[in-house]
Amino acid sequence: MSDKKTADQDGGRPGRRAPLIAAAVAIVAALGITAAVGLGGDDTAPGTKGGAVAEVSGGTDNDKAATVLDRPFTKPDLVLTDTKGEKYDLRAATKGKPTLVYFGYTHCPDVCPLTMSNIAIARKQLPKTDQDKLQVVFVTTDPERDTAAELGKWLPAAGDPSFVGLTGDFKTIQAGARSIGIGIDPAKKEKDGSVVSMHGAQVIAFSPTTDQGYVLYGENTSADDYAKDLPKLIKGENP
């Protein structure tokens, strides 16, 4: 497994990638999924049994985009600010609803906008009633630049107007990400003026029946992959 490291300037610049330390993760690297801990702090993720360790249910099928977990993640206890500048309690707002959670940032030149676009394309293929049920939550990993207003402009263009964008205190966001096995580091400015942001690239699906994060998707998941799985995820079934 590898984490994503991206360098960008305000004008945009191709991303760079470098591995982060990953600990005790039982998902093959070929899936392109990141479940990193050990980023300079307590490696034990709250809300999981024995830390942020993802275990594959029934082995791994490389032909499938989805990875079903034996040990689902507890939904992060995050209270942040949405694009309207209002408080958003992730657990309360998405309780009993099929929910996709992704941590990324608006200046990302590649994976973040592509991921949001793929989910948006797949969502539009659902019946209207199912579209209304699905919650897609984008949590910024770069809150210094990603204000509520910035997220409000970026998300409809990159994904869909229905998507929820959240910003807030970085340490709070980092703790929430770690609780579901996602490693993120603060954005850093390089000597050449570029800004480097490092974050996990997986989408985690939470069941409407248990509110547990039970399915992982990597950065290579296509719109067709999501379109195939969303009808099952909305019912809380295994894809």
Neighbours of 14 (CB within 10 A): 9
Task: Give the burial class of 113: count Cβ atoms within 10 A of its Cβ; 0-12 exposed, 13-18 middle, 19 or more buried.
Answer: middle
Tell me the residue length of the chain: 239
Predicted confidence at residue 198, as pLDDT, reads: 83
Predicted confidence at residue 28, as pLDDT, reads: 34
pTM for the whole thing? 0.77
Cα distances from 236 to residues 10, 73, 141, 213, 215, in angstroms, run 40, 14, 28, 10, 10
Mean pLDDT by 10 residues, the chain (239 residues): 42 36 33 33 37 40 83 97 97 98 93 97 98 98 95 97 97 96 88 80 96 96 98 97
Side chain identity at 191, as an amino acid letter?
K
- 30-69: buried (b, 16+ CB within 10 Å) or exposed (e) per residue? ebbbbbbbbbeeebebebbeebbbbebeeeeeeeebbbbb
> What span, in angstroms and rounded, lies between the C-alpha atoms of 216 and 221?
10
* C-beta of residue 8 within 8 angstroms of C-beta of residue 109: yes
The continuous run of DSSP H or E covering 234 comes out as: helix 223-235
